[in-house]
Amino acid sequence: MSVQSWRITPAKRVRGVWRPPGDKSITHRAVILGLLARGATEIEGFLESDDCLRTLRMAQQLGAQAERVGAAHWRIIGRGGQPLQEPSDTLDAGNSGTTARLMAGVLASQPIFSVLTGDESLRRRPMRRVVEPLRRMGAHIDGREDATRLPLAIRGGELRGIPYLTPVASAQVKSCLLLAGLNAAGVTEVTEPCLSRDHTERMLQAFGASLEQQMSASGAHRVRLRGEQPLEGQRLTVPGDFSSAAFWIAAALLLPGAELTIEHVGVNPTRTGMLEALAQAGVHLEWSAVSEQAGEPTATLHVRPQPMGAMQIGGALVPSLIDEVPILTLLATQAHGITEIRDAAELRVKESDRIETIAAELCKMGAQVEPLPDGLRVQGPTPLHGAEVHSHGDHRIAMTLAIAGLIARSGETLIHDVACVQTSFPEFEALLETLVER
């Protein structure tokens, strides 16, 4: 059981060879495609975090059989084209936006009635972005505030594919519509202003579906999927989560004498925008052992401390580092110059309003971070000191503050409300001991 708060003292360095836990986005998708596919799907490197276990439980409520074969190793027997089982109770996505939005697409396309809900934070997050296009595909969805917030009541079935232009580049919206389209008549076509993480596209193909993709000269991305395609169960190993590795990349860049090797981490380019931002700052990580599994590239990264300049982050780069903005903000507090992050208003509707929460909490530790309507401005370098801070129930804020506590020049950092870290990275707390030298 994780404690409710952490006390973090400054570290001397981080050191070690470490394999990060499985990727959260990819684990969710493996479970969902495993639920829909024919036969067994065997998933190694499964991220056994609260969010992914919510998706797994939901798949079981919908008729999948799931068995834990070993640590981080699950076998799922899917429905294989049979309709999903109508759940006898509400489906609870907990804190997980990915579970809620991707499953909304699956549920809307099945001839069953279901009620989808989540925790207090998730019930505040916007659902119009999936409900509106699903309704256009023919779905019957009701819910709070004209179905723009959970809980949603979904009477699914009989969808038809549509062409849809998403106003924001969101992998959750794109994936929701592709999953709905998989069981719809005709073709579903999703165009996004720039490419968001493409794990769903890669995994659908690994499970035997065919789809077409196009990038326009302006950077818009279009994916077309024909409905009623069968999926075949697969055996796959989930790469390590780059977004979890990012916290320790930052620690190793900022602590003198650090030496960290991160093995088997996912380096899908739609996820590694942080490396591009770091390159702007003059920081280059060494790579080795590049390979590919189920369409997803992995590598070993070698990280040592390096001096950093400022970064200018915006435009098409943003979706590929959206979850890394809190930790990039911390890095920017130690970089020479003024960093600006723009075009990132989506941060306001994550697990917390990350623009406000990261700025407020890092300022308590001596940073100079200014919230902007669509991003952040950071003046660096500023020495940080320990302080009493709050996660706002947001796992990525909690972990960023823990790394901030490690790199602080002096004093203890007391971080309240850290249980949320279980949603994505249950092992994080133990690493504060095993990777850190004091």
One residue of 48, 50, 296, 323 binding ligand S3P per CB under 6 A: 323
One residue of 27, 98, 329, 352 binding ligand S3P per CB under 6 A: 98
One residue of 25, 110, 270, 329 binding ligand S3P per CB under 6 A: 25
Binding mask 38-67 for ligand S3P (x = CB under 6 A): ------------------------------
For the chain, the residue count is: 438
CA 272 – CA 276 distance, rounded (Å): 7
One residue of 322, 325, 401, 432 binding ligand S3P per CB under 6 A: 322
Tokens representing residue 329 in the block: 């903000």
The Cα diameter of the chain in Å comes to 62
Cite the active site residues: 323
CA 236 – CA 26 distance, rounded (Å): 10
Residue 83 or 297 with smaller CB distance to ligand S3P: 297
CA 403 – CA 52 distance, rounded (Å): 24
Binding mask 400-419 for ligand S3P (x = CB under 6 A): --------------------
Task: Please report whether residue 172 would count as binding ligand S3P according to CB under 6 A.
Answer: yes
Residue 79 or 197 with smaller CB distance to ligand S3P: 197
CA 12 – CA 42 distance, rounded (Å): 41
We find the least distance from the C-beta atom of residue 256 to ligand S3P, in angstroms, to be 32
Task: Please report whether residue 170 would count as binding ligand S3P according to CB under 6 A.
Answer: yes
List Cα–Cα distances, 240 to 290, 305, 341, 349, 401, in angstroms.
13, 22, 26, 25, 22
Q: Which helix (H) or strand (E) holds 177?
A: helix 171-181
Binding mask 178-197 for ligand S3P (x = CB under 6 A): -------------------x
We find the least distance from the C-beta atom of residue 98 to ligand S3P, in angstroms, to be 4
CA 75 from chain centre, in angstroms, equals: 23
Query: Which of the stretches 1-9, 81-89, 169-177, 248-256 binds ligand S3P when contact is defined by CB under 6 A?
Result: 169-177
Beta bridge mates, 296: 293
Task: Please report whether residue 171 would count as binding ligand S3P according to CB under 6 A.
Answer: yes
Residue 25 or 300 with smaller CB distance to ligand S3P: 25
Binding mask 127-166 for ligand S3P (x = CB under 6 A): ----------------------------------------
We find the least distance from the C-beta atom of residue 408 to ligand S3P, in angstroms, to be 27
CA 28 – CA 46 distance, rounded (Å): 9
Q: Give the burial class of 420: count Cβ atoms within 10 A of its Cβ; 0-12 exposed, 13-18 middle, 19 or more buried.
A: buried
Residue 343 or 346 with smaller CB distance to ligand S3P: 346
Query: Which of the stretches 54-62, 168-176, 185-193, 290-298 binds ligand S3P when contact is defined by CB under 6 A?
Result: 168-176
Residue 197 or 221 with smaller CB distance to ligand S3P: 197
We find the least distance from the C-beta atom of residue 88 to ligand S3P, in angstroms, to be 28
Number of residues that bind ligand S3P (CB under 6 A): 10
We find the least distance from the C-beta atom of residue 10 to ligand S3P, in angstroms, to be 29
Rounded to the nearest 5 degrees, what angle is found at the Cα of 407, between the Cα atoms of 404 and 410?
Answer: 100
We find the least distance from the C-beta atom of residue 386 to ligand S3P, in angstroms, to be 29
Residues 6+ apart with CB under 8 A from 309: 280, 281, 282, 335, 336, 337
Q: Which helix (H) or strand (E) holds 60?
A: helix 50-61
Tokens representing residue 70 in the block: 């070993």
If DSSP codes are grouped into helix, strand and coil, which group holds residue 198? coil
Beta bridge mates, 418: none
Beta bridge mates, 15: 259
CA 97 – CA 400 distance, rounded (Å): 20
We find the least distance from the C-beta atom of residue 172 to ligand S3P, in angstroms, to be 3
- Applying CB under 6 A, the residues found at the interface with ligand S3P are 25, 98, 170-172, 175, 197, 322-323, 346
